[in-house]
């Protein structure tokens, strides 16, 4: 089968894999790529490069290597390009997004790195991408900014200090009273030289859910509202259920949303709960890249680490949040 090309005879990004080599030989940098995707989920080429730039200096050669993994060899591909990325308005001009193919997953597993606790699932591509980019940003930038070691979600959940979540079918589904469940999007920790760990639960919010029902409308059982998730977070903190589940009691809750108005509405909702002992643990940042006219980010979301976060008592830096 001939490769699909445009009018200038250039191969299209949307073309199916088309092997041009007989065998691909893996090296250390290649394995780091597969591991990063296994930890966070599908990631853009610009992010994947950040994980291997100490080994691969030439960005052009690196992107060519990703293309080789997408096309594969006689045994198949190592990477896939999710087709949903081509729905973006700037799809032709943005970094390609990759996820591990079955062959890469087998390679990760062969080295004992296949995660027992993979990234939380979501049926929405942009939500998955946003979650992965937020998580990778913290892994890559937080240690240098704070002087603390990054501990991934999988490492937290597999630690001997973790509670019931360690053996649960869905470790990110925290059981609450009344049959309710809280499922944060991500989880990580930062550890200082003395071994003290600061834990974080992460929510990525594209403002696709209503904050609450419209005036005069009842809550529908089939509809989710963001104020319910906020209330469940507070309930989990108040009830003390996080310690027997995760092994820690009062994590910082980081909410990354796409719109300033949405962030302000979230603050108003937290204030309305009138439980400052717990709502002071919530911090909100705005990242418009993943809004309605979303695009693949060109760089790490540096403002999450370098900028300020909104709280019910004013702005705080990430370093302050991590250390205080």
Average pLDDT, the chain: 90
Check residues 292 and 16 and name the one with the higher pLDDT. 292
Helix axes 28-40, 102-110, angle to 10 degrees: 110
Extents of the domains making up the chain: 28-110, 125-323
Q: How many CA atoms lie within 13 A of 75 on its CB side?
A: 11
For residue range 136-167, what is the model confidence (pLDDT) as tens digits?
A: 999 999 999 999 999 999 999 999 999 999 99
Q: What is the mean pLDDT of residues 284-296?
A: 95
For residue range 96-141, what is the model confidence (pLDDT) as tens digits?
A: 999 999 999 999 999 876 666 667 666 789 999 999 999 999 999 9
State the pLDDT confidence band at 249, using cuts at 50, 70 and 90. Answer: very high
| Candidate CATH numbers 2.40.50, 1.20.950, 1.10.10, 1.20.1740; the one for domain 28-110 | 1.10.10
Describe the strand order of the beta sheet including 252-257 as a list of residue ranges.
Answer: 149-151, 186-191, 197-205, 252-257, 282-286, 308-311, 314-317
Integer Cα distance of 101 and 113 in angstroms: 15
State the pLDDT confidence band at 184, using cuts at 50, 70 and 90. Answer: very high
8 pLDDT higher than 80: no
187 pLDDT higher than 50: yes
Q: Which pLDDT belongs to residue 239?
A: 95
* Predicted TM-score of the model (pTM): 0.91
Integer Cα distance of 310 and 233 in angstroms: 17
Q: What is the mean pLDDT of residues 294-315?
A: 96
* Tokens standing for residue 268: 């108003």
């Amino acid at each position: 089968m001939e490769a699909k090309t445009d009018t200038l005879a250039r191969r299209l990004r949307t073309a199916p894999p088309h092997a041009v080599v007989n065998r691909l030989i893996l090296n250390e940098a290649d394995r780091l790529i597969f591991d990063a995707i296994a930890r966070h989920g599908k990631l853009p080429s610009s992010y994947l490069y950040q994980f291997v730039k100490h080994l691969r200096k030439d960005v052009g050669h690196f992107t060519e290597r990703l293309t080789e993994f997408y096309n594969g060899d006689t045994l198949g591909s190592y990477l896939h390009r999710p087709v949903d990325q081509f729905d973006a308005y700037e799809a032709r001009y943005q970094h390609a997004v990759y996820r591990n193919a079955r062959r890469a997953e087998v390679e990760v597993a062969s080295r004992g790195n296949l995660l027992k606790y993979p990234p939380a699932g979501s049926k929405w591509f942009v939500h998955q991408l946003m979650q992965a980019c937020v998580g990778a940003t913290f892994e890559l930038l937080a240690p240098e900014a704070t002087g603390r070691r990054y501990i991934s979600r999988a490492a937290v959940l597999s630690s001997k200090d973790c509670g019931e979540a360690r053996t649960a079918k869905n470790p990110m589904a925290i059981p609450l009273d009344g049959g309710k469940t809280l499922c944060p999007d991500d989880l990580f920790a930062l550890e200082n030289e003395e071994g003290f760990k600061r834990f974080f639960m992460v929510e990525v919010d594209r403002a696709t859910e209503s904050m609450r029902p419209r005036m005069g409308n009842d809550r529908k059982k089939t509809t989710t509202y963001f104020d319910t998730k906020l209330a469940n977070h507070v309930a989990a903190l108040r009830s003390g259920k996080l310690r027997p589940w995760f092994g820690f009691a009062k994590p910082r809750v980081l909410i990354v949303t796409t719109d300033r108005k949405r962030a302000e509405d979230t603050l108003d909702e937290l204030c309305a709960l009138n439980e400052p002992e717990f709502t002071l643990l919530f911090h909100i940042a705005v990242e418009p890249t993943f809004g309605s006219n979303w695009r693949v980010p060109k760089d790490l979301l540096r403002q999450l680490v370098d900028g300020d976060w909104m709280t019910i008592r004013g702005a705080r830096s990430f370093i302050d949040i991590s250390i205080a």
